[in-house]
Structure 1
Amino acid sequence: MAKRVRIRCINKTDRPNAHERVKNVGGLNSDGTRWKLSVEKAIRDIESHEWEYYVEESGKTARVIVATHNGHKYIKTAADGIQPDNLLSLPECP
């Protein structure tokens, strides 16, 4: 069974394309320390089924999935359709 982890922040690139905009994702460990990893690592984690990431907003959760656009893999929330809006609306990671 995959370990479930909440993404609470992101770091963005300077790219205008929403499918290439998220560079890192991060959150809090159970002990209050911060974690951060690259989108490439998050994609590998999701595809390996070892980790399951999600975003929570206004009490609702959305699972983070891997999608492909023009041959480029990226992450988005399952509830978004095309644009990764839920991720892009998160605050910047320190």
Structure 2
Amino acid sequence: MANCQITCITKTNPQSSHEHITHVGNSAWSMKRLTVEDVIRRIRSNTDTFYVKDSRGNVAQVGVVEATPGRRAHIRTYADGKWTDNLLSLNQCS
């Protein structure tokens, strides 16, 4: 199992803080970007884990927020016992 750092995101509307993330990436990965659905599959199957690191070196793990009526499953960071929005603070993937 690999522990993969996410360093960038792709949103359907880069200017909106509420648009959903479609892809995540890291320039060091051979595939550069993964779809959110692929990340969810990898987390659920215990194939890989994912995390983000802020400028101070703090790490937040990425987890799956399960689907609820009217909402599909999505990824979100989890730190200090709480779901956080660290993914939305990342730069857009090129």
TM-score w.r.t. length of structure 2: 0.79
Match of 2:66 among 64, 68, 78: 68
The structure where helix makes up a greater share of residues is 1
- Once the 2 structures are TM-superposed, how far is the Cα of residue 17 of structure 1 from its aligned partner? 8.6
Segments of 5+ residues of structure 2 without an aligned counterpart are none
The answer (yes or no) to whether the contact 2:53–2:60 under 8 Å persists in 1 is yes
Q: Which residue of 1 aligns with 2:89?
A: 89
Q: What percentage of residue pairs aligned between the two structures are identical?
A: 36
* Letter of the 1:68 counterpart: E
Equivalent residue pairs, number: 88
Spell out structure 1 runs of 4+ moving beyond 4 A: none
- Once the 2 structures are TM-superposed, how far is the Cα of residue 9 of structure 1 from its aligned partner? 0.1
For the aligned residue pairs, the C-alpha RMSD in angstroms reads: 2.4
Segments of 5+ residues of structure 1 without an aligned counterpart are none
Q: Which residue of 2 aligns with 1:25?
A: 24
- Once the 2 structures are TM-superposed, how far is the Cα of residue 79 of structure 1 from its aligned partner? 1.9
- Once the 2 structures are TM-superposed, how far is the Cα of residue 70 of structure 1 from its aligned partner? 2.3
* Counterpart-to-counterpart distance in 1, 2:93 and 2:22: 11
